[in-house]
Structure 1
């Protein structure tokens, strides 16, 4: 399929869309310098606006003018001069040595600095020129006096950079989406669900929310440092964040958890314990127990262990506690807690063994080819099929316009998608969706959604992994009761239970039955989440098996 041809100024149209959206919904969250940049921008000519947006979409902020070529901007020099007159860019800016290197190739550097060695890496040249000519910033003509070799440069002003970043943040509600979202949509590569948005849908209510978000982002994205004092400063800064915004509170909790992980990687056990103690993010309690173990503080870990044993946050934590229990008992010489909160995944799951030559294909593909037949077709689905059916059935619940869920028209999923309370916030809506499985209309509902929503971005649907034959066979062969059981387990632990499902599904259409198959190649073993799913299947009589593949030479 040939992508549509975009109009010459498509990117400028998209930028104006963001600008108008922010002015309509969040103008009170723009600083005076942002308002001033916006005023200068809208009063500039179309070529000047187009050039500025082009530059904002590229990696900068310094550019060589001789490298800028845009067919739709006929008089580039005039556009540059206009932007400079508006103080949106700076021409002939001072360049430090690293920036000079960033905008020139190695052959160009050899021409600029004739005394450079004939052979060498760019990093070597950087050190050599720094020693010979200094590293301080200066205009280009002071780096190279030869007018033949001079390459005029420009720099986006810091105010413009900050203005564009603020527009993106207020529009998208995050730092990871950018202008490419519009291009992918314009090309028809991405389609998004239409959600009703209004003034209450904006991501940030006041400037303090914006500052808190930016602070948390900076602290989260900071590189790991082998300096505990720097870590302590970052930890204190996160703790100091105060907000009544639910989604910023969740972001703070996740940032504290990530700081705990950073401390663990550095083996700063006491600091990691402190971070995990201060956050309610899923997994923090078990990580705190592991850190206490690392410190040989089993006596201090035991009360927390018993608390987790009696009230586990999910099956994953319980499975890890069962693994930890023998170690704790050996160290403390204590009896086991009164009762086990979770039965160990059973080992009675049906097993098959195949001996297959290594033909270079993935082992799952080999098993699929081995068992696939017209009367019993096999599909590779892994974590794609059941989540997709759940997504189609519960589409309205997933895309419900709850506060803090949708901020703009280019969201592939709700903003709280990865949060622990995603399902609980929509509990009634999910229950209504699953209730359809009690009647005879669920196949019609899922099939109609498949037809209506096909290709629209949804975090539960991996469209390339699905086709009509797979959906048709699944609805024909998998009983509604089994769908309901699987869907309920996914919803019980939204974060963990969307993975770990078997690799293959084999349908027997004539018998209106099916079987799930987990494939394990030589040396591979079942993961924890796979064991939990297999135990659940066995408990509820859902047909599943594990197929172990060996090679002839290993026998």
Structure 2
């Protein structure tokens, strides 16, 4: 398969997935009445077959008890497990296909598939209440002076939980809790490899929004039930901590002595991450002794760093000497390049009187670029545009080309036929990839010294596997372009050096690569983009050092925002058949291009929306079905409008409406529409406060702007352009 054909296949795959995500040119599957129950039973059988050796008495009991339930009771439980939260109002729980709902609740209660609202579910019950019902409950059970009805619901829930004894609360019988939750969560964990709060992921699969999980794409592999249960414990603890409160964090800290000892790579990683998060939480609570105790239970780089920093701040001679010895040990035998960077930098500043950190030193060498502030939300795009305007070949890079190159170069070694490709190969997670395959890895790295030969190998792999799921390779249409530019223009041995580090320590080198890749004067260099107030993360600093050691020029582009008088804007207004992009369609586009406050070009066309225009829309816009019958469809003018946009900023009055419709129309024809945006409504509010209304009509009246044909696209676009002139005058003054 040649390169162009491979790219065609990649684009076809992208189109198919974009349609599935957006609903464009896509219809949901016709699902039978009890489709969700059929799929849930299939899920249980799949887990039972694949992971039987990892199932305990409770898990097997769940499967057996569910299998013994009557069909309608099964359907009720699955419907319940598919909804958000764990507490439900039976009076609001009704599905046409489930008969005799009252009996189903009785059956589920008798088999422990629903629980009463006792202490563990009390907060969930409070959260399930509509805010007026929550306020009413609090008014009945506690002093009304303790809270205000206007407070956020989450604040009210926290207060109600802290001020109410669950055993004293009067909870209506119609509220029930989902039973056997932990058993179901464990089965889902074995299936997906992560904690799921409900069955939404299964539902998305049923509806065709994500691909089916097949035999080679299940969750993590464990050797023993104990390994699986311990990994589940830590995955669930992290999940609960992320979604919990200070009370939950305190509970985790106090239960530390009862935590199981991690005995596999996954549980060890989660154990270390849990300690990091709880240590950080303890520091924020200013409980540094507890934080120190937690951090010292892990040898992870971040925990080591925090221990050193906390002990250093104690300012005691004993602690200072300990820090000195510990830093020297890390410099001599670091756990990772990142840890070495920290230890060397901290040691130099504290014991050799170096005044600034390595991060500060790098940031001081940054190239300062003054760019138009309309790109404020897209800084990488702004810098890319800047370099391209100077005639430099520039690519968005970050982590993707490195992961693509790594995944393609070592594809058959990583995927030996025994593991699914959608999840990260276990050998990378465990960290033994280089040691297990050093000879073959080095042989392939040596071929990178001959870029044409290496590219031929990569293209062969791409052609063979282009449509297969991969946790490593992103099948983008420009993937090979970036890889080709990198290989051809890289310093000799530079790419191999980085890929060798990735194969030796995937977890430590999989991210943090610079944002942009430049090809200038036959050499590749990298640029990290930072705006005012941004800092370099530790992994970014480490990656920049590694790239520099491999011979790649590295620089930082620091952006200062301003108003660029030469920056073109296209002020757009669209008329539509309704208010929902993707469902409703465009009937007219009007746009004016502005440079330096002057209109330099115009664009206007009616469009055939390929559906009827509702009468109420016609009354507003005066655009009729007869007027658009002979107009072009969007596909016929799409390229013309893209050329009209050029490198402009997309501006509109209430920009998300117009931009949303434009991007939806391009999505329907399998094209991306991405431009920086400026909203004249938000900008007028910012620079011209005090107006009673910021509608286009009222602002035109207030500023004496001509608006003779309101709700016709070109007229509204011209009026919004006049507002943009006022906005830019203020922006330049600021």
Q: Could you say which TM-score interval applies, normalised by the shorter chain?
A: 0.7 to 0.9
Do residues 168 (structure 1) and 183 (structure 2) align?
no
- Which residue in 1 is equivalent to 2:320? 298
d(CA) in 2 for partners of 1:18 and 1:130? 39
d(CA) in 2 for partners of 1:325 and 1:112? 58
- Which residue in 1 is equivalent to 2:658? none
d(CA) in 1 for partners of 2:542 and 2:138? 65
Task: Determine if contact 1:394/1:434 at 8 Å carries over to the other structure.
Answer: no
Task: Determine if contact 1:173/1:204 at 8 Å carries over to the other structure.
Answer: no
Task: Determine if contact 1:507/1:514 at 8 Å carries over to the other structure.
Answer: yes
How far did residue 298 of structure 1 move?
0.7
How far did residue 423 of structure 1 move?
5.7
- Which residue in 2 is equivalent to 1:87? 111
Do residues 392 (structure 1) and 392 (structure 2) align?
no
Deviations 1:35-61 (A, max 9, x none): 444334224444432222111122344
- Which residue in 1 is equivalent to 2:31? 7
Task: Determine if contact 1:388/1:460 at 8 Å carries over to the other structure.
Answer: yes
Moved more, 393-402 or 317-326: 393-402
Do residues 77 (structure 1) and 98 (structure 2) align?
no
- Which residue in 1 is equivalent to 2:15? none
Deviations 1:48-94 (A, max 9, x none): 322221111223443223423445x2525277267448635559988
Q: Residue 505 of structure 1: SS of its match in structure 2?
A: strand
The CA RMSD measured in Å over matched residues stands at 5.1
Do residues 140 (structure 1) and 152 (structure 2) align?
no
Task: Select which of 359, 367, 389 maps to 2:374.
Answer: 359
- Which residue in 2 is equivalent to 1:49? 74
Task: Select which of 529, 533, 537 maps to 1:519.
Answer: 529
Deviations 1:475-511 (A, max 9, x none): 1563274432332243444334333322222347xx8
Moved more, 165-174 or 362-371: 165-174
How far did residue 347 of structure 1 move?
6.8
d(CA) in 1 for partners of 2:99 and 2:557? 66
d(CA) in 1 for partners of 2:250 and 2:551? 55
d(CA) in 2 for partners of 1:329 and 1:132? 54
How far did residue 170 of structure 1 move?
3.6
Q: Residue 528 of structure 2: SS of its match in structure 1?
A: strand
Aligned counterparts, 1:133-532, within 5 A:
136=168, 140=172, 152-156=174-178, 158=179, 160-176=180-196, 179-191=199-211, 196=216, 202-203=221-222, 205-206=224-225, 208-217=226-235, 220=238, 221-222=240-241, 233-238=254-259, 241-242=260-261, 245=264, 247-296=266-315, 297-329=319-351, 353-361=368-376, 362-372=378-388, 376-400=392-416, 412-414=423-425, 430-431=441-442, 434=445, 437=448, 440-450=452-462, 453-454=465-466, 458-461=470-473, 463=474, 467-476=476-485, 478-479=487-488, 481-507=493-519, 514-522=524-532, 524=534, 528-532=538-542
d(CA) in 2 for partners of 1:313 and 1:194? 37
Q: Residue 382 of structure 1: SS of its match in structure 2?
A: coil
How far did residue 293 of structure 1 move?
0.8
Task: Determine if contact 2:392/2:519 at 8 Å carries over to the other structure.
Answer: yes
How far did residue 243 of structure 1 move?
6.2
Distance 1:450 1:106, change over 3 A: same
Unaligned runs of at least 5 residues, structure 1: 142-151, 337-342
Distance 1:396 1:66, change over 3 A: farther
Moved more, 88-97 or 391-400: 88-97
Task: Determine if contact 1:381/1:505 at 8 Å carries over to the other structure.
Answer: yes
Q: Residue 478 of structure 1: SS of its match in structure 2?
A: helix
Distance 1:76 1:282, change over 3 A: farther
d(CA) in 1 for partners of 2:160 and 2:212? 52
Q: Residue 301 of structure 2: SS of its match in structure 1?
A: coil
Task: Determine if contact 2:424/2:472 at 8 Å carries over to the other structure.
Answer: no
Q: Residue 305 of structure 1: SS of its match in structure 2?
A: helix
TM-score, length basis structure 1: 0.72
d(CA) in 1 for partners of 2:345 and 2:137? 64
How far did residue 424 of structure 1 move?
5.0
- Which residue in 2 is equivalent to 1:146? none
d(CA) in 1 for partners of 2:463 and 2:370? 41
Task: Determine if contact 1:93/1:155 at 8 Å carries over to the other structure.
Answer: yes
Unaligned runs of at least 5 residues, structure 2: 1-18, 20-25, 563-731
Do residues 16 (structure 1) and 26 (structure 2) align?
no
Q: Residue 359 of structure 1: SS of its match in structure 2?
A: helix
Moved more, 387-396 or 185-194: 185-194
Distance 1:399 1:112, change over 3 A: same
Q: Residue 518 of structure 1: SS of its match in structure 2?
A: strand
d(CA) in 2 for partners of 1:112 and 1:308? 56
Distance 1:444 1:180, change over 3 A: farther
Task: Determine if contact 2:485/2:519 at 8 Å carries over to the other structure.
Answer: no
Moved more, 261-270 or 96-105: 96-105
Task: Determine if contact 2:278/2:291 at 8 Å carries over to the other structure.
Answer: yes
- Number of equivalenced pairs: 517
Deviations 1:224-261 (A, max 9, x none): 869999777433223xx346545445544554454444
d(CA) in 2 for partners of 1:109 and 1:346? 54
d(CA) in 2 for partners of 1:130 and 1:521? 42
